[in-house]
């Protein structure tokens, strides 16, 4: 609670006051329950079998947090200086008349956001889910920037001012030093998250190519900008001049673009999880500014879990975590060139050939990729697997950690098609079995099956662990044409192996023909 301000002070046109129940123990309890729900949500999302339960916990926790915040922070109309007063406080100098216009605006914004969210969730295709996630991250970052800017322009309303009298020579009230640190970090991380997510969205959506865009002198430029931001944040703790704050904001927007542009398509799943982490830290920083423990807890959970996921994926891809988060620091111009499809002899097969080979096999390992997602072939693929099992064939699904465009993309698609969880295996669990596999059925998975990752040091995917499908007796590879390359921009050597048979067609149409042949 802030002590009443002397009536001798001149009135200032600030934002409507917020009536808050800061000392109410039920508020802290509600936020604690919401935090526990978020922890249970993350725990549930760690496994496909418990993911639905995890989602429910997340929704319950968010509902508790939002409702608690709305109930305990009611916009009120004050006179003169406006600031937070406890509900029911007898000595509140400005009264507690509710500002119904502000309440209506808040509820209208919530309703509009809910309408957009529900409509998007119902209409979005699974192939566009990575783009949607990147877009959501950008909105979180932009929200953090908006909150930081609002707090800087009106620190009294946010209760982060040391004094309510404007300082001589400065248009703003003096802001707590600690609040300046929180504000500067929040706006910097939020701006980086927003601009980086915009670039990620453009790359994932196909508006930008999957090859790394390597600007000359990018390392020195990025290091210089990051160093300047750190210096300005330090300066901001001593001097809250507007030019420092706005320069931090502008430079942070710029560094977000520059960090993501040089990252190639093969590393985009790591970028998605990394931006998820950034959005969490931005939210946590703004939680301190808003004095909201639920935001701090949620932001810290999202930030830490996203960072851990990024690190795990980097290890799975044999990538340096520092190199990726520094903007593809290890990328080279030679590697970025990739390679177009080359004119070499290859074998072409038909649906009938594929059906015969798989029906005679003891074990078939299906390797799904982004091509399956594009064609929405997961349901007919499961039907094909069921028919093969009726023929006595052992069927398994092999999932690469970065197959698709975001972590877990293929797992979600297979779960949507009701593929049994015990038939789905990760790379480290299935790779040793390819040597004893009769048929490896690859449906739209390009970069994650490319043997060049193990042999070609000039390849942008060199060093990335891949599925050893070339060790199977026969490889059936569904692809639209021989002219295209993978998302990383390189041709796949697997196409030209003696044991590989290419099935050139739309993935869903080809699998439907195979199902007919098996029937």
Residues 6+ apart with CB under 8 A from 422: none
Of the candidates 391, 366, 392, 393, the residue with the CA atom closest to the CA atom of residue 380 = 366
Is there a contact between 286 and 323 (Cβ–Cβ < 8 Å)? no
Which tokens is 348 given?
């072409």
Distance of CA 460 to the CA centre of its chain: 23
Is there a contact between 218 and 225 (Cβ–Cβ < 8 Å)? no
Beta-strand pair 474-479/424-426: unpaired
- Looking at 124-217, list the stretches that DSSP marks H as alpha helix, in order from N- to C-terminal side: 129-153, 177-204
Q: What angle do CA 377, 379, 381 make, to 5 degrees?
A: 65
Q: Name the residues annotated as catalytic.
A: 447
Is there a contact between 258 and 225 (Cβ–Cβ < 8 Å)? yes
Which tokens is 417 given?
């098609």
CA separation for the pair 279, 144 (Å, rounded): 9
CA separation for the pair 69, 52 (Å, rounded): 26
Q: What angle do CA 361, 365, 368 make, to 5 degrees?
A: 140
Residue 264: strand, helix, or coil: coil
73-77 sheet: strands from edge to edge: 17-20, 73-77, 97-98
Is there a contact between 277 and 307 (Cβ–Cβ < 8 Å)? yes
Q: What is the DSSP string of 95-121?
A: --EE-HHHHHHHHHHHHHHHHHHHHHH
Determine how many CB atoms are found less than 10 A away from the CB of residue 240: 22
CA separation for the pair 274, 322 (Å, rounded): 11
Is there a contact between 458 and 480 (Cβ–Cβ < 8 Å)? no
DSSP state, residue 161: B
Is there a contact between 310 and 321 (Cβ–Cβ < 8 Å)? yes
Give the number of C-alpha atoms closer than 13 A to the C-alpha of residue 60, restricted to the C-beta side.
Answer: 17
């Amino acid at each position: 609670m802030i002590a009443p301000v002397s009536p001798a002070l001149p009135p200032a046109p600030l934002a409507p006051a917020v009536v808050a129940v800061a000392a109410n123990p039920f508020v802290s309890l509600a936020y604690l329950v919401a935090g526990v729900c978020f922890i249970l949500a993350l725990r549930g999302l760690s496994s496909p079998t418990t993911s639905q339960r995890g989602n429910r916990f997340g929704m319950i926790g968010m509902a508790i947090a939002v409702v608690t915040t709305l109930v305990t922070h009611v916009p009120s109309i004050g006179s003169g200086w406006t600031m937070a007063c406890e509900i029911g406080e007898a000595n509140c100098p400005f009264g507690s008349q509710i500002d119904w216009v502000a309440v209506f605006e808040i509820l209208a914004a919530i309703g509009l956001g809910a309408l957009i969210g529900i409509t998007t969730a119902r209409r979005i295709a699974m192939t566009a889910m990575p783009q949607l996630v990147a877009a959501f991250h950008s909105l979180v970052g932009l929200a953090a920037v908006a909150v930081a800017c609002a707090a800087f322009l009106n620190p009294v309303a946010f209760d982060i001012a040391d004094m309510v009298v404007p300082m001589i020579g400065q248009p703003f009230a003096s802001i707590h030093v600690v609040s300046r640190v929180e504000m500067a970090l929040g706006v910097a991380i939020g701006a980086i998250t927003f601009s980086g997510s915009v670039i990620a969205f453009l790359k994932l959506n196909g508006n930008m190519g999957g090859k790394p865009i390597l600007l000359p002198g990018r390392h020195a430029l990025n290091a210089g900008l990051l160093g300047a931001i750190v210096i300005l944040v330090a300066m901001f703790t001593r001097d809250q001049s507007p030019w420092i704050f706005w320069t931090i904001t502008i430079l942070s927007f710029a560094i977000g673009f520059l960090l993501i542009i040089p990252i190639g398509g093969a590393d985009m799943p790591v970028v998605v999880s990394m931006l998820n982490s950034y959005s969490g830290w931005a939210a946590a920083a703004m939680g301190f500014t808003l004095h909201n423990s639920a935001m701090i807890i949620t932001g810290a959970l999202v930030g830490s879990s996203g960072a851990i996921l990024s690190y795990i994926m980097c290890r799975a891809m044999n990538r340096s975590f520092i190199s990726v988060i520094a903007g593809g620091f290890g990328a080279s111009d030679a590697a970025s060139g990739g390679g177009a499809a080359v004119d070499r002899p290859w074998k072409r097969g038909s649906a009938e050939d594929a059906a015969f080979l798989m029906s005679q096999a003891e074990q078939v390992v299906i390797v799904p990729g982004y091509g399956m997602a594009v064609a929405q072939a997961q349901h007919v693929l499961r039907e094909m697997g069921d028919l093969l099992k009726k023929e006595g064939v052992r069927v398994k699904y092999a999932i690469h950690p970065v197959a698709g465009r975001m972590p877990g993309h293929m797992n979600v698609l297979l779960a949507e098609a009701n593929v049994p969880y015990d038939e789905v295996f990760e790379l480290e669990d299935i790779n040793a079995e390819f040597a004893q596999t009769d048929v490896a059925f690859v449906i739209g998975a390009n970069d994650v099956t490319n043997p060049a990752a193990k042999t070609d040091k000039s390849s942008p995917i060199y060093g990335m662990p891949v599925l050893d499908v070339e060790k199977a007796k026969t490889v059936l590879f569904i692809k639209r044409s021989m002219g295209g390359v993978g998302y990383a921009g390189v041709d796949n050597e697997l196409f030209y192996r003696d044991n590989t048979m290419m099935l050139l067609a739309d993935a869903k149409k080809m699998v439907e023909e195979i199902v007919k042949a098996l029937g």
